[in-house]
Structure 1
Amino acid sequence: MFKPLLTRLLNHLVTQNQWARSHLLPFSGKTVRFYIPPAQASLTILEDGGLAVAGETSHADASIHLSASLALRLLAKDSDAMSKVRIEGDTELAKTLAKVLQNIQWDYEEDLSKVLGDISANKASTLVKDTAKEAKQQMVNFAEMAAEYWQEENPLIAKKRHVEDFVQQVDVLRDDVERLEKRMAKIRAK
């Protein structure tokens, strides 16, 4: 029951993002398996460029291995995270599918308009966007407040300038020790 529903959702998203179909068409009939411990899932590219959830026993042409935290970083559009993903098999297939999945957009306002009507869908969409924006800003404010508290009131986090001063002092000490060792070597040589 879950696989047909997920397949339908994936094809709906590909239909909303027509550009994705053209990227996937050259790989029709191929399967990619995603390993995100403790789960795994396989996607097959259909003849029309759509996507379907493949069975667990299907042969994978490519495999993508990543941790759950890495998957969250990818969802958050962290550009450094992609370099930590391990790909086996057909790397071109895996990279193309990963790029499509990462850049696909859901036009939920269009889908809501079919159920609620255009005006209600627009208002609901605006409310969701504003709420998400406000929640994000509140989280940033909280993180800044916590960082300030842990730096000033209950020091658990070092301030950047203190760390830079410490690193500079370590560098000076290292240079002094090297000079001292050279002097001692000269004295021993005499």
Structure 2
Amino acid sequence: MVTPSSPFAFLEDLANRVGSRLQPPEWAVHEIQHRAVLFLNHVLQQEPEAQQRLLPLQGRVVKFEWRFVTMQFVPTPAGLLDLAPEGAVAELTLTVTETSPFGLARAAFKGEKPAVRIEGDVQLAAEINWLVDHVRWDVEDDLARAIGDVPAHTIATGARRVVDALRQFVGQRPGKAGGSAAE
């Protein structure tokens, strides 16, 4: 959470006000959701075990919520994901409880999962948790297909160094000089 003395307090307040008043048009939301499904399926296709774990879950609706963003997914017979049909009833609802985008970014840079409220089927939630814990996007591999192995490795190594530096910076507690992520 951003404290009132934080330099990000103004930005967070602005984001809350703008986000609550300006909603994108329905067609834009629909397109963004479809692009999210395409991306998730791309990542899932790199993990055959994840696809196998989704097979028995086909047809079960999972709803994800964060602030004013809501998406409902349904596993397909191919072990991938699709948007749930309009009006589908979710068997599991996962709500991210951290409302601050800065709080989510901070947790991500620390390598932490955000706090989530779980309502519904516990076994389905356990399978989704397994996917979250074990499926990772291999950015370097995708980049290598576009620009080659050596440049992709160089870019990925540089990006990892930047992320490590950001994690160390975010891990420092305010008011402590020389703090580290391990503290």
TM-score normalised to the size of structure 2?
0.66
Residue number in structure 2 paired with 1:15: 45
Distance 1:41 1:105, change over 3 A: same
* Partner residue, 2:158: 127
The structural deviation recorded for 1:69 is: 5.2
Residue 146, structure 1, aligned to residue 179, structure 2: no
- Secondary structure in 1 aligned to 2:175? helix
The answer to whether the 8 Å contact 1:74/1:102 transfers is no
| Counterpart position of 1:109 | 140
Structure 1 position 95, deviation (Å): 2.2
Identity over aligned pairs, percent? 25
Give the conservation status (yes or no) of the 8 Å contact 1:44–1:53.
Answer: yes
Shift of 1:121: 0.6
**Change beyond 3 A, Cα 1:43–1:24:** same
Q: Which residue of 2 aligns with 1:51?
A: 81
1:181 corresponds to = none
* Paired residue total: 144
Q: For 1:147, what is the secondary structure of its paired residue?
A: coil
User: 102, 123, 127: which one pairs with 1:96?
Assistant: 127
**Other-structure match for 2:71:** 41
1:139-185 per-residue CA deviation (whole Å, 9 max, x = no partner) reads 44xx3572359xxxxxxxxxxxxxxxxxxxxxxxxxxxxxxxxxxxx
Unaligned runs of 5+ in 2: 1-30, 179-183
Query: Is contact 1:10-1:52 (8 Å) kept?
Result: no
Contact 1:42 1:56 in 2 (8 A): no
Change (3 A) 1:144 1:10: closer
From the superposition, tell whether residues 145 and 57 of structure 1 become closer, same or farther in structure 2 (CA, over 3 Å): closer
Which residue number in structure 2 is paired with residue 4 of structure 1? 34
**Structure number with bigger Rg:** 1
Q: Return the TM-score normalized by structure 1.
A: 0.64
- Note if contact 1:45-1:52 (Cα within 8 Å) is conserved in structure 2: yes
Hey, what's the Cα distance between the residues in 1 that align with 2:92 and 2:169?
40
CA contact (8 A) 1:41 1:56 kept: no
Tell me how large the CA RMSD over aligned residues is.
Answer: 2.8
The structure that is helix-richer by fraction is 1
Give every structure 1 segment of 4 or more consecutive aligned residues whose post-TM-superposition deviation is greater than 3 Å: 69-79
Distance 1:125 1:99, change over 3 A: same
The answer to whether the Cα contact below 8 Å between 1:22 and 1:49 also exists between their aligned partners in 2 is yes
Matched, 1:86 2:117: yes
